[in-house]
Amino acid sequence: MSDAEARRAVREKVLGGLQARTPEVQAMVDSPLAQPLLAWSGERTWDVWARPGLDLKTRCLVNVAMLAAMGTERELRFHIRGALRNGNTPEEIAEVVMQLANYAGMPLATEAMLALIEVAESFAKEQADAG
């Protein structure tokens, strides 16, 4: 498998194509202004994700914690879903949010918990509908 194929495979395992389904991300994909940023991110971001040092389940939790601490709700929602897709439970993610509350504060933890509730409910419905 080529490096590009490995990056695409990891991105699909984590995000499941979800990132391309949002209007905001689609606007970036369609804009010539964003192409250099998307190319740079596509190479560097997913190269790190494809490294063998951590499994995807752990990497997903790490990303959830970082994105929640930064208050980046749109990206956080993508990565909460990715964490669920890669074997984390809503309860495990809630524990990450508890850790966040202790170190980064309640406002960020509240936003992260609201995102978790929304994404976990949506993900559970998708899974039930898929059989």
What are the pLDDT tens digits along the chain (131 aa)? 788 888 888 888 888 866 556 787 788 889 999 999 988 988 888 889 988 999 999 999 999 999 999 999 989 999 999 999 999 999 999 999 999 999 999 999 999 999 999 999 999 999 999 88
Tokens 């790490």: give the residue. 62
Burial (CB count <10 Å: 0-12, 13-18, 19+), residue 81? buried
pLDDT given for residue 5 in this prediction: 85
Angstrom distance (rounded) from CA 126 to CA 105: 31
What pTM was estimated for this model as a whole? 0.86
Q: Which two tokens stand for residue 86?
A: 């890669």
Angstrom distance (rounded) from CA 112 to CA 131: 28
CB atoms closer than 10 angstroms to residue 96: 22
pLDDT given for residue 20 in this prediction: 55
67-95 per-position pLDDT tens digit: 999 999 989 999 999 999 999 999 999 99
